[in-house]
Structure 1
Amino acid sequence: MLISIATAALPAVAEDGYDLWLRYKPVSAEWRREYRPLAQALLLPRAPSPTIRAAERELRRGLAGLLGAEPQQAGSVRRDGTLLLGTPASSPTIARLDLPLAQLRPGGYLIRSVVVDGHRATAIAANDDIGVLYGSYRFLRLLQTRQPIAQLDLASSPQIQLRLLNHWDNLDRTVERGYAGQSLWDWWRLPDFRDPRYTDYARANASIGINGTVLNNVNAKSDSLTPRYIAKAAALADVFRPYGIRVYLSARFNAPMEIGGLGTADPLDSDVRHWWRDKADEIYAAIPDFGGFLVKANSEGQPGPQDYGRSHADGANMLAAALEPHGGVVMWRAFVYAHDNPEDRAKQAYSEFKSLDGEFADNVVLQVKNGPIDFQPREPFHPLFGAMPHTPLMMEFQITKEYLGFATHLAYLGPLFEEVLDADTCRSASGRCDGSATVASVVDGSLHGYRTTGIAGVANIGTDRDWSGSIFNQANWYVFGRLAWDPRDSARAIAEDWLSMTFVPDGSFVGPAADMMMASREAVVDYMTPLGLAHLMGTGHHYGPAPWVDTLARPEWNPVYYHRADARGIGFDRTAEGSDAVAQYAPPIAAKFAGRSSVPEKYLLWFHHLPWNYPMSTGRDLWGELVYRYDRGADEVAAMRRQWSALHRYVDRERFAKTADFLAIQQREARWWRDACIAYFRSVSGRELPRGVRPPEHALAYYRAQKFPWAPGH
């Protein structure tokens, strides 16, 4: 329930976005009268752990900001509203309450209004200290979003075990596909200088339940596994540990050759296996709670087990054996495609991994992208989800907007994440599409009983003061964390919480702003890749439209590979008459995608090559519908600008102006996308523009001549 503020005053001080959703701005006098009597004292365990101390610091910081006064330290439950923190093992008072904590999973928490010795109190309890920290953040969120707290009784547990950010950060502090400045990790000054920002990073992640971070790029350098860099990673692990965040490293498969002096990296070679066991021992000696390795192998030129005639399972299991004595995991990426493979790129991951189901070690998890190509504005769900019941699969989403306008386009990814997680794989026990076999049920392990569950998001975080390159990009970090905790949560409700905490908890602001956020991703799809088109972006840097590119050595790097437009029609035929990629889905899904009348229009050109005059459900032909979608996307961005302008009185000047400037960029670039794509597809189709449609601003040659050699994140 969102409570509207009676009057919204202009913020007195401009903000730069550094505080993210943890701003803790003062509540009104009315809410202060309700909240303060219930949160005036803190009762901690007698021997607080570093994690409990982190919870204490956050509650003091949050309550001081929200209510104007820090809670006092208490030795027992007091009359004037005590917050009671702890576990049954650490707090006799919590133990005496006999709370229903057995139902909680690791990291779960319970927040309940209780009476102790005749005094009212609020218990924030868990079975482990990290659950107490998560519960403390949840309690603060209740206040930030102006929820009543007098009669609390709520419990929450993470539905997925491994909830990770993947940083594509390089040792020189560049960030592959990063649009928010340099890498946070100041490798040159580590381990001696530990930037206070590392703690703020940990605070933000803990507040949304993220419990792991992969520090370096999946296109890894072997140097990351040398003693010098292990010590640097250990320093970061020390900072993150109280916040429940474990450190992981991307491992380069041929590191035994590059830094170990071996002549091979064959996973079945005894010297290689011994080298990795020694390396794991070395890492765990420095980082006792090290999480494990993320591996990109035999993809885009990266070394891997196939270089030696071995399988992905052979490579993953070798690393798993090295980590197993320490409790570490191997996250083996299923993003594989090879330049010498003529198969449809969308089929290659399934083709390589499906036959290996059940051959991986117990501590191996396959990390699978949400779609079968590469983080496009829209893709159907990856066919591996639901197809490997004997091998744990974890989701890989991209939070950084490599294909969705970088930092300047407002594209809230909650609906994208939600669309994929809610998709029915139709691989239920009954063999029917009954809603019991969603992608979420695969990822959280409930469908197949996975021993390990996980979800990863490619981070959008850098050294920019606002962390993510724009204020609204912060929402994508936030919604990823919330959906990692509970993949069945609502993207709309999460957006409303984020808006309330990041700006102001006023329904007159939150409602329209959430409408704008929820429409934004569909707008991007429309002006970039409507009707199931994909990968029309500029090559290499992925900035701007370039559907005409057809000169690159590898076929699947050329946009023409994906749209296949010619004078007869457009789209990639993935039916049985084409690449037959539909056959990788369960039969009911395959039948739906293969049928022209049954495939959802949002995937139409992903699965079908159709003539330009193909009749659409709207009454337009395909060409007219394509042009209409490009226009609709550009028009939606113009509407977003108007919506934002109408909300100026709720937002401080600095953040309002930056967002307004970025929306202006987005509108200009949406028109560029619209004009360039229409000009190109008109040229190959020979079709005239529908009546009344504005022609592109420039001739096609103008758009083809645009070059961007210094686009960020390349």
Structure 2
Amino acid sequence: MLRRLLIAFCLLFSAATAANAEDGYDLWLRYKPVEASQGADYKTRATAIVTGSTPTLDVAKRELQRGLGGLLAAAPMTSNTIADGAIVLATPADSRGFAIPVGLDREGFVIRSTTLDGHPVTVIAGGSDIGVLYGAFRYLSLIQTQKSTAGLDIQDAPKLDLRVLDHWDNLDGHVERGYAGTSLWDWWRLPDRVDARYDDYAAANASIGINGAVLNNVNAKADSLTEPYLRKAAAIANVLRPYGIKVYLSARFSAPIDLGGLKTADPEDPDVAAWWQAKADEIYTIIPDFGGFLVKANSEGQPGPGDYKRTHAQGANMLAKALKPHGGIVMWRAFVYSEHDATDRAKQAYLEFQPTDGQFADNVLVQIKNGAIDFQPREPFHPLFGAMPRTQQMMEFQITKEYLGFSTHLAYLAPMWEEVLQADTFAKGKGSTVAKVIDGSLDGHTLTGMAGVANIGDDRNWSGSDFDQANWYAFGRFAWNPDTKSAEIAEDWTRMTWSNDPKVVSTIVPMMMGSREAVVHYMTPLGLAHLMDTGHHYGPGPWVSELGRPEWNPAYYHKADLNGIGFDRTKTGSNALGQYTPQAAKPWLEAKKTDERFLLWFHHVPWDFKMKSGRPLWDELVVTYSQGVDEVSAMRKTWATLEGDIDSERFNAVAANLAIQEREAQWWRDACLTYFQSVSKRPLPAGYTLPGITVEQYRKRVFPYAPGRG
């Protein structure tokens, strides 16, 4: 009998443990019970949900019921009657006696503690039902982060119109630069089978205000525009629509040739324009609220208007004209460089795009990467920002960590994005930040946006690692308001994702805030860039110099020789500094005065160049690389202090990733310093050593199956 009782107890314990296990699937929408001291306050304010009925309002109601049911262990019921403690959802079409502010943006919302029909209630009102949905998620986040819901008076609206995830997903399921499994989109079985995860994906995005998704890779296949694949995209659009999310497609510029049998894709050819117009009409018949096209043209072998000696503006405008009758837009990427152009790669996008300022149609946004090279761990802001005042510009960030250790390295990217957004272009004097360029306020533009290259796959935890979820979350927060602070985002995400426990919050947030800088230190310190091995971009490869295209070689970017290291972008070199306004360029003109975080980006300096620490550059390089490894070691030790405070499954997953990161940080440090020492011929400073592995031995390490390759 006792044995049976013990077995039963063990089974019950195992079942309870399994039920309470966490695998990261719920992201920041975990809705775990709040502490009792806070719960008493909240419970008096969630007796019922009073709402109308549209697909979007139904989503808002369900999410409030699910969220409050988890947070407060009591889900409010739907009611048509206003009573004490009710949550009232209101739109201009059904305001229920609440005075919705005049001119409230359709995506904007108000959350207010007030009295209706003599009852104390909380009103969540929106400029439309989408605004209500955003307000509902904001209300839940207040409880999740233990902020008071008493005396609420919140009004908010997004600063950017387009807040879009770019999925680099291919039709065969592979995700280019994806480190979280295969594509979320099951193209093979769509439209007949629509995965239930699409609803959860949509809810996560709506909770942070993302309102668009580009479904396919920018290195596009024309097949994406064929009728069968449009039907598949329409099935996804049907799921995303109630959450306020439009679908977009990457369009291959040569589609009139590939699909239409034309002999040209020249944007000035009438038959080409007619083909695109017919294609746009077809798309909107299948997907009535289709968002538009994302285009990568004349870059890395992709076709484009340059093939016909036309400008990017001519190519973009031809597509924009086809979409305009339907309300669609074109996001035209400014990521261009050519093997036929010997100019400094950092200059090429500016040289191609800046002369076309003012020539783009009003439903075109030029989509510009945060830096002029390619999503490096640190880059100065792209010189195109502020240089095209008559052109609508949108930011492109990379959420997936192609150059920051894939999904195994902890690198919270929000501080990097904040650094770029708050950089001053001086385009119209001091205070002309990149954020003001992209939100339209600097030059009076009305169409604005931000894109993020998604880090989402079919892994159970969505992003390949638990901490990479923070970058998806942070992107949404910045796209809603580019002036948000990265530390504030980190704290909110930590509370929603891990715990409100003060120990957990005070431990994790500093880890996150210092993590990206640690990656810079052990990968590309002091302004170095693109030292990653080629093709897969996994691990160090500063020695690579034999590839046919110069700009694909890491040696192109560091230019290390016996005399020194760094890329001279001053007047004595490529003069890339000349693409910035004089005020923006001024801090970088002289090596001795340059912020050392950008020193080797703009200057080629001797190995014995005296740094601000008093050390010669070579010694500083050794110290900084070593510092990066030490910082990762410290993160591992810090995380270990949370054992028992974090559920075991996620705790162990993070611990394993940090072990990988520490090992690979050491590899980066040792390999890069070994190579640079072989060039500089200098001894290590006292107290520092290398493992004795030769450059040739490092060079022989190959990774043919590294994830994320194109």
Give the shorter-chain TM-score range.
Answer: over 0.9
Paired position in structure 2 for 1:190: 190
Point out the more displaced range, 611-620 or 112-121.
112-121
Write out per-residue CA displacement over residues 287-329 of structure 1, whole angstroms, 9 at most, x where no aligned residue.
1110000000000000001111111111111001100100100
Which residues in structure 2 correspond to 1:336-351 (within 5 Å)?
336-351=336-351
Once the 2 structures are TM-superposed, how far is the Cα of residue 575 of structure 1 from its aligned partner?
0.2
Match 2:49 to one of 38, 42, 46 = 42
Match 2:35 to one of 28, 36, 40 = 28
Point out the more displaced range, 453-462 or 64-73.
64-73
The question of 1:75 aligning with 2:70 is answered: no
Paired position in structure 1 for 2:300: 300
- Give the letter aligned to residue 473 of structure 1: D
Distance 1:691 1:308, change over 3 A: same
Paired position in structure 2 for 1:152: 152
Aligned counterparts of 1:117 and 1:286: Cα–Cα separation in 2 = 45
- Give the letter aligned to residue 66 of structure 2: R
Which residues in structure 2 correspond to 1:99-498 (within 5 Å)?
99=100, 101-102=101-102, 104-428=104-428, 432=429, 434-435=430-431, 437-498=432-493
Paired position in structure 2 for 1:90: 94
Match of 1:572, SS state, is coil
- Give the letter aligned to residue 28 of structure 2: W
The question of 1:527 aligning with 2:527 is answered: no
Aligned counterparts of 2:113 and 2:531: Cα–Cα separation in 1 = 54
- Give the letter aligned to residue 209 of structure 1: G
Aligned counterparts of 2:372 and 2:66: Cα–Cα separation in 1 = 44
Once the 2 structures are TM-superposed, how far is the Cα of residue 118 of structure 1 from its aligned partner?
2.1
8 Å contact 1:423–1:438 — kept in the other structure? Answer: yes
Paired position in structure 1 for 2:651: 656
- Give the letter aligned to residue 30 of structure 2: R
Aligned counterparts of 1:528 and 1:104: Cα–Cα separation in 2 = 46
8 Å contact 2:528–2:558 — kept in the other structure? Answer: yes
Identity %: 62
Match of 1:649, SS state, is coil
Once the 2 structures are TM-superposed, how far is the Cα of residue 106 of structure 1 from its aligned partner?
2.9
Once the 2 structures are TM-superposed, how far is the Cα of residue 11 of structure 1 from its aligned partner?
11
Match of 1:667, SS state, is helix
Aligned counterparts of 1:238 and 1:90: Cα–Cα separation in 2 = 25
The question of 1:54 aligning with 2:49 is answered: no
Paired position in structure 1 for 2:68: 63
Match of 1:102, SS state, is coil
- Give the letter aligned to residue 75 of structure 2: E
- Give the letter aligned to residue 567 of structure 2: F
How large is the Cα RMSD of the aligned pairs? 1.1
Paired position in structure 2 for 1:5: none
8 Å contact 1:249–1:293 — kept in the other structure? Answer: yes
The question of 1:584 aligning with 2:588 is answered: no
Which residues in structure 2 correspond to 1:609-648 (within 5 Å)?
609-648=604-643
- Give the letter aligned to residue 639 of structure 2: W
Per the normalisation by structure 2, the TM-score is 0.97
Match 2:698 to one of 700, 703, 710 = 703
- Give the letter aligned to residue 586 of structure 2: A
Aligned counterparts of 2:454 and 2:80: Cα–Cα separation in 1 = 42
Aligned counterparts of 2:174 and 2:212: Cα–Cα separation in 1 = 21
Aligned counterparts of 1:695 and 1:97: Cα–Cα separation in 2 = 70
Match of 2:623, SS state, is helix
Once the 2 structures are TM-superposed, how far is the Cα of residue 451 of structure 1 from its aligned partner?
2.3
Once the 2 structures are TM-superposed, how far is the Cα of residue 396 of structure 1 from its aligned partner?
0.2
Once the 2 structures are TM-superposed, how far is the Cα of residue 698 of structure 1 from its aligned partner?
2.2
Aligned counterparts of 1:241 and 1:695: Cα–Cα separation in 2 = 56
Aligned counterparts of 1:218 and 1:465: Cα–Cα separation in 2 = 25
Match of 2:102, SS state, is helix
- Give the letter aligned to residue 512 of structure 2: M
Match 1:673 to one of 663, 668, 671 = 668
Aligned counterparts of 2:102 and 2:263: Cα–Cα separation in 1 = 53
Paired position in structure 2 for 1:16: 23
Once the 2 structures are TM-superposed, how far is the Cα of residue 695 of structure 1 from its aligned partner?
1.8
Write out per-residue CA displacement over residues 316-365 of structure 1, whole angstroms, 9 at most, x where no aligned residue.
11001100100100110000000010000000000000000001111111
Aligned counterparts of 2:687 and 2:563: Cα–Cα separation in 1 = 24
8 Å contact 1:165–1:458 — kept in the other structure? Answer: yes
8 Å contact 1:367–1:396 — kept in the other structure? Answer: yes
Once the 2 structures are TM-superposed, how far is the Cα of residue 28 of structure 1 from its aligned partner?
2.2
Aligned counterparts of 2:266 and 2:696: Cα–Cα separation in 1 = 50
Paired position in structure 1 for 2:12: none
Once the 2 structures are TM-superposed, how far is the Cα of residue 34 of structure 1 from its aligned partner?
1.2
Once the 2 structures are TM-superposed, how far is the Cα of residue 594 of structure 1 from its aligned partner?
1.6
8 Å contact 1:499–1:510 — kept in the other structure? Answer: yes
Match of 2:273, SS state, is helix
Match of 1:508, SS state, is helix
Aligned counterparts of 2:506 and 2:104: Cα–Cα separation in 1 = 33
Aligned counterparts of 1:14 and 1:538: Cα–Cα separation in 2 = 38
Write out per-residue CA displacement over residues 120-152 of structure 1, whole angstroms, 9 at most, x where no aligned residue.
100000111100000000000001011111111
8 Å contact 1:26–1:67 — kept in the other structure? Answer: yes
8 Å contact 1:11–1:651 — kept in the other structure? Answer: no
8 Å contact 1:371–1:381 — kept in the other structure? Answer: yes
8 Å contact 2:90–2:98 — kept in the other structure? Answer: no
Consecutive aligned runs of 4 or more in structure 1 exceeding 3 Å deviation: none
Once the 2 structures are TM-superposed, how far is the Cα of residue 664 of structure 1 from its aligned partner?
0.2
Aligned counterparts of 1:32 and 1:697: Cα–Cα separation in 2 = 59
8 Å contact 1:503–1:650 — kept in the other structure? Answer: no
Aligned counterparts of 2:612 and 2:168: Cα–Cα separation in 1 = 42
8 Å contact 2:346–2:576 — kept in the other structure? Answer: yes
Once the 2 structures are TM-superposed, how far is the Cα of residue 103 of structure 1 from its aligned partner?
5.1
Write out per-residue CA displacement over residues 432-488 of structure 1, whole angstroms, 9 at most, x where no aligned residue.
3x22x0000001010011121000000000000000000000000000000100111
- Give the letter aligned to residue 271 of structure 2: D
Point out the more displaced range, 222-231 or 594-603.
594-603
Once the 2 structures are TM-superposed, how far is the Cα of residue 697 of structure 1 from its aligned partner?
5.1
Aligned counterparts of 2:306 and 2:408: Cα–Cα separation in 1 = 40
Match of 2:20, SS state, is coil
Aligned counterparts of 1:104 and 1:419: Cα–Cα separation in 2 = 30
Once the 2 structures are TM-superposed, how far is the Cα of residue 12 of structure 1 from its aligned partner?
7.8
Paired position in structure 1 for 2:570: 575
Match of 1:650, SS state, is coil
Once the 2 structures are TM-superposed, how far is the Cα of residue 108 of structure 1 from its aligned partner?
0.8
- Give the letter aligned to residue 696 of structure 1: P
Paired position in structure 1 for 2:4: none
Paired position in structure 2 for 1:688: 683
8 Å contact 1:676–1:696 — kept in the other structure? Answer: no
Write out per-residue CA displacement over residues 206-248 of structure 1, whole angstroms, 9 at most, x where no aligned residue.
0000000000000000000000000000010000000000000
Gaps of 5+ in 1: 1-9
Match of 2:111, SS state, is strand
8 Å contact 2:334–2:349 — kept in the other structure? Answer: yes
Aligned counterparts of 2:35 and 2:672: Cα–Cα separation in 1 = 50
Write out per-residue CA displacement over residues 58-84 of structure 1, whole angstroms, 9 at most, x where no aligned residue.
0011011111121022222112x1000
- Give the letter aligned to residue 576 of structure 2: A
Which residues in structure 2 correspond to 1:531-570 (within 5 Å)?
531-570=526-565
- Give the letter aligned to residue 568 of structure 1: N
8 Å contact 1:678–1:696 — kept in the other structure? Answer: no
Whose relative contact order is higher, 1 or 2, with alpha carbons under 8 Å and at least 6 apart? Answer: 1
Per the normalisation by structure 1, the TM-score is 0.96
- Give the letter aligned to residue 84 of structure 1: V
Aligned counterparts of 1:627 and 1:587: Cα–Cα separation in 2 = 33
